[in-house]
Amino acid sequence: MYDRGWSDGLPLVPPTRERVLRMLDSTSRSGDEVVALMPPNLVDCTVEKVAVNSVMAGCLPEYLPVVLASLEAICTDDFNMHGVLATTMGVGPVLVVNGPIATRIGMNSGVNVLGHGNRANATIGRAVQLVVRNVGGGAPGGVDRATHGSMSKLGFCFAEDEEDSPWTTLAEDRGFDRSVDVVTAFCGEGPRILVDQQSRSAESLVRMLAEGLLASVSPRTVMGMDGLLVLSPEHMARFSDAGWNRPRFMEELEKFLMVETDGILAGAGGIEEGLPPALAGLTLPKFRPGGLLVVHAGGPAGLFSAIIGGWVNGQMGSEPTSREIIR
């Protein structure tokens, strides 16, 4: 299978007839139903083809509905998977799962949430990428021209910790009921750790988080690239203890995400990278309205959060996209 170019570099599970049929038993959808036109070659991608690649990725059958919904999310004009593949920036789909299905299939939302060790997290994201590679033709070195790549190119999927969160979930923030199973696809790079072990007040920590977010992707980008903040339980406790809900947190955070453009113009501080001179004298937000997504996840110990920088967003790039997970 590796010699035939089907692999992402890791060993694959042979997709025998029995394994594929067992995978298909986990969905009510017909095997010949077309899930999406798969970029970059715009090939009809059927449920059966998704099942084959899910077997190869190591998925259990109960993961298939999440893989299908994830593919439906990324194969939209809004998400723009073709552009995500073609860019030289090392970004890919970051998949966040909300709803009862996350617990039902054993997804990790706690210790090592963005790392290894959980079969569902690891193989769902991997299956999505194998479909893009094997069905759509999006292999590295072809249309995929990433300079460095990142873990989001191999498979990046995790669940939000809803049970221990005092806030509404990401899916609720995007208009879904808490009882609905949802996957949200965000075009992002790998995570970067933000350390704050001394802030004991919400006011101090929100300033520190803003400083880290201002540097995401580049300190000299504003309004062009979205972000995803993964708040750990210990950091979340600072805000819940202060009585802050999600809207209050976002309101306070946005105050510190305003940038004076004179300091990030091209040539300012001896750095040629930067905004054009025509944007001098302005104060602009780091992220466009709604461009910062916030998720609660991680182990109960550790005064760290994670920042995942985005790609070019809006009509020229990629929009975060959510889809209901339907069995």
Burial of 99: CB neighbours in 10 Å, binned 0-12, 13-18, 19+:
buried
Instruction: Give the C-alpha separation, 64 to 104, whole Å.
Output: 13
Taking alpha carbons only, the member of 173, 293, 295, 297 closest to residue 233 is 297
Give the pLDDT confidence of 146-188 residue by residue, as tens digits: 999 998 999 999 999 999 999 999 999 999 999 999 999 999 9
pLDDT confidence of residue 313: 85
Mean pLDDT of 262-276: 96
Share of the chain above pLDDT 90, in %: 96
- Reported as a single tens digit per residue, the pLDDT across 35-90 is 999 999 999 999 999 999 999 999 999 999 999 999 999 999 999 999 999 999 99
Structure confidence at residue 295 (pLDDT): 98
3-state secondary structure of 1: coil
- Compute the distance between CA of residue 210 and CA of residue 276 in angstroms, rounded to an integer: 24
Domain boundaries, the chain: 17-324
Average pLDDT over residues 91-108: 98
